[in-house]
Amino acid sequence: MLNLTEHPANATSYIDFSVIIKVCVVFPFFFIFLSCIVVMLNIFASHRQFLDSSRYILFASMLINDTVQLLVSVLLFFLVMCQVKFALVYCFPLLFISTATFQNTPLILATMSLERYVTIIYPLQCPPAWHSDRIWIIILSLWILSCVCGITVCSIEQHNSTVNIFLTPVVCRSAVVNSSPIQTFFKTVVNILCFAAVAVIILFTYVRILLETRKLRQDRTSVSKAMNTVLLHGFQLLLCMLAFTIPITESLIVFYTNWLLKDIAFFNFFCFVLIPRFLSPLIYGFRDQSFRSYIEVIFLCCSNRVKPGDSSLMQNN
C-alpha cells in the first residue's frame, strides 16, 4: 500500500519535471527563430530593392507563413502536453491555421522555383504575373488554395450530435477534430498529391535550367546560382516532408524503447516539425548574399564592433 500511495506522487513529479525540460528546450529555439525572422522582415521592409523583387517578396511570404505555422504548432503542442481543455469551437481555428500554413509551405517553394525558372528562361520577356507589383496575386491564390483544403476537411466532418461544440471541453488536437476515416483519407491524399506535384515542379525547373546552361555562353554565374537555389528548394521540401515520417518513428520508438507517449510526441515534434521549420527559412535567408550582408551589419552594429562609417560603407556595397 505504501508503494501504491507513493507512485502517483512520483509520477506527478516526473511529469512536472518533464514539462519543464521540454519548455526549456523548445522556447530558446523558438525565440531565436523569431528574432532572426524579425530581423529578416525588417531588412525586407526597409530596403526598396527587396520590395521590387518578386523573389524576395515570395521569400518574405514564406517567412510569414512559417512563423504563423510555428506559433500555432508550439501553442497547440504545449496545450496538449499540459492537457489544457477548452471548448471545441475555439479548437477549430487553431487546427485550421496549422493545416493551411502546413500545406502552403510546399506551394510557396514550388512558386519560388518557378520564379527562378521564368527569370532564367525569359529574362527579357518576363510574364506580367511574375512582376513584383503583381506577384501578390499569386501569393493570395496560394493562401486561398491552402485554406480551401482545410475548409473541405471541416465540411466533410461527421459531427457527433451529442457533443456541444460551445460547451464541451476537449484537448485540442487533430485526432479530436479529424476523427472520421474519411477525413484522414482525404488529408492523406491531399498531402501526397500536393508534395508530389511540388517535387515534380522543382525537378522540372532544375532540369530546364540545367539544359539552359548549355545554351548560354554568358551570364553562367546567375544560371548556376539559380540552379543552386532550386536545389535548395528541393532540400526545403524534404525538410517539410519529414513530418510524414512521424508514424514510422513512433512505431520504431515504441518497439525498441519504453518511452512515454508524451515523450515520443515531443521527440517527433522537435525533430520533424520544429527543427525543419526552424532551419528552412534561415538557411535560405543566410545563404542569400544580399540578406546576409545586411544581417552581418545589424549583428555587428549591435555588438559595437563596427564603426558607423564602416557599416554605412558595407550597406552601400
CATH number at residue 303: 1.20.1070.10
pLDDT per residue as tens digits for the range 248-293: 777 788 788 888 777 888 888 888 888 887 887 777 777 788 888 8
Confidence of residue 309 (pLDDT cuts 50, 70, 90): very low
The answer on pLDDT for 217 being more than 60 is no
Domain that residue 185 falls in: 2-316
pLDDT per residue as tens digits for the range 9-56: 444 444 567 778 888 888 888 888 888 888 888 888 888 888 888 989
Whole-model pTM: value is: 0.81
The count of domains in the chain is: 1
Residue 216 vs residue 192, higher pLDDT? 192
pLDDT per residue as tens digits for the range 126-139: 788 888 888 999 99
- SS3 for the chain, per residue? CHHHHHHHHHHHHHHHHHHHHHHHHHHHHHHHHHHHHHHHHHHHHHCHHHHCCHHHHHHHHHHHHHHHHHHHHHHHHHHHHCCCEEEHHHHHHHHHHHHHHHHHHHHHHHHHHHHHHHHHHCCCCCCHHHCCCCHHHHHHHHHHHHHHHHHHHHHCCCCCCCCCCCCCEEECCHHHHCCCHHHHHHHHHHHHHHHHHHHHHHHHHHHHHHHHHHHCCCCHHHHHHHHHHHHHHHHHHHHHHHHHHHHHHHHHHHHHCCCCHHHHHHHHHHHHHHHHHHHHHHHHHHHCHHHHHHHHHHHHHHCCCCCHHHHHHHHHC
